Structure 1
Amino acid sequence: MTEKITIMLSSTISDMEADRDAIVRVFEKYPFVELVGAKPIQKSVASNPFAHTLNLAENCDFYILLLGERYGFEIRPGVSATEAEFDQVVKTNPTKVLVFKNTSVSPEPKQVKFINKVGDYYKGFWISEYAYSHMLQGIVEESFLALLKERASIGRKLSYVDHFVRLAIQRYPAQDALVYYSVTKDIVDLTYEFHGVIHTVQFDRWAINKDFWGCISNLEEQFSQWA
């Protein structure tokens, strides 16, 4: 497993070569970033290409969607490969999505429908617009750094308890686990639900402030017991 931040680039291919190349060039200067999905699969994988790209979408740290003129190849009637990747990301982690639309082209009808779905006012995403590849480079880099800072919670004056909860709710004892938490003046409760069973771990706030990593180790020890 790579220790780098993985960013998946998702779009149609033939009509967005310049756009995709512009994004590749943005992240070339960040050695801690690995861009996936930017080039055709060059190596053997133990699955078909569609299943492989869905896996990339589900497991990447950030997901960049480019919207252009074409809707793209349909893996089944009415659903393109790009839309299927987008749906997989939204289902697993909608907080890692960045969306950019090329305004210099006229989208075909099916693409217009997909764009409207992505940017739905009530349950969609903010779509950043660009007309030229150099504009795309600027807004992609700015958006990535802003989201990275938000994920790191830099500059928010968070306490040890805040950081503990932020890290704890990102760790799962099983892939299909659900996690809930509550924080009171003295207690932090973490509840994990998976395989039809509910497990709760309780921490004293003073203990977290005293030994942050000890509490994380305690949580991981609980995971191993549940497994």
Structure 2
Amino acid sequence: MISSTIIDLKDDRKAILDVLRKYPFVHPIGAFPILYPVPGVTPEIGTIQMARDCDLFILILGGRYGYVTPHNKSATEIEFEAAYFSDPTKILVFVKDVPHIEPAQRVFIQKVLDYTRGYWKHKYKTPEELKNIFENAFNTWISKRIHGYASKPIEFKFVYLVLDALSQYHVEIEYQVTKSDIGFSVKNNEKKEYVLYVSKDEIRQNFWRALDEVVSKLLTFLYYSQINNV
């Protein structure tokens, strides 16, 4: 799904669509210029359903915040939240370099790009530049998809990202998934064990914050273990 404000980003949305149309197995959804209908529901409910059910959520952020719904949030922000709570790992973010950003949009961008809980941004200036940047990002996403990562449950993705973040430290990390939480354990050179649990509810509600906390705590244990051994 392509999500953004419409008036100011028509050419940018078309640039993304031009790339996606190269791939016959991809079926883009969203508003202009796709106009993919969701029959029998309001536009708000329809776009929320699309954001929730899509395999990849492409968020383009410009200077406008856009139409504000009765929920006091823009349609784009509501779509982003629906995608996030569906699967926080399926989101790609592209930020346009513009001279003016509305105050509400600036707050939204800060929320999306939060250092520990947000997303890595792909910055661009022109639709043509966006084409190249997006195609590279999309191919990376496809590569993960081929390896089965994208279709896995959210708990699997969380464990995968924890292990990937710590892989460079060459330590053995064990994990256990229970009905309500995920436990991680790591041992230092003296075989002292550190065990950490994170609830599945916390992972679903605050995926990136939970990931940052788990990785930080495990790294802190390993760091101080090394210092004490010096």
Q: Same fold (TM over 0.5)?
A: yes
Q: Secondary structure at the match of 1:35?
A: coil
Pairwise CA RMSD = 2.8
Match of 1:26 among 8, 12, 19: 19
User: When the two structures are superposed, what TM-score results if normalisation uses the length of structure 2?
Assistant: 0.64
CA contact (8 A) 1:71 1:108 kept: yes
Q: Does 1:113 align with 2:107?
A: yes
Alignment correspondent of 1:125: 119
Q: Does 1:55 align with 2:64?
A: no
Of all paired residues, the percent bearing the same amino acid is: 37
CA distance 1:126–1:77, change in 2 (3 Å): same
The Cα of 1:139 is off from its aligned counterpart by 0.8
Alignment correspondent of 2:61: 67
Match of 1:100 among 88, 91, 94: 94
Q: For each residue in 1:179-217, what CA deviation from the matched residue of structure 2 results, as whole angstroms up to 9, or x when unmatched?
A: 899xxxxxxx98668xxxxxxxxxxxxxxxxxxxxxxxx
Q: Secondary structure at the match of 1:122?
A: coil
Question: Counterparts of 2:150 and 2:96 in 1: how far apart (Å)?
Answer: 36
Runs of 4+ deviating beyond 3 Å: 40-44, 166-171, 178-181, 189-193
Q: For each residue in 1:87-117, what CA deviation from the matched residue of structure 2 results, as whole angstroms up to 9, or x when unmatched?
A: 1111110000000011034211110000000
**Gapped runs of 5+ residues in structure 2?**
160-175, 181-230
Question: Counterparts of 1:147 and 1:111 in 2: how far apart (Å)?
Answer: 27
CA distance 1:95–1:104, change in 2 (3 Å): same
Count of equivalent residues:
164
The Cα of 1:78 is off from its aligned counterpart by 3.2
User: When the two structures are superposed, what TM-score results if normalisation uses the length of structure 1?
Assistant: 0.64
Structure that is richer in strand per residue: 1
CA contact (8 A) 2:29 2:35 kept: no
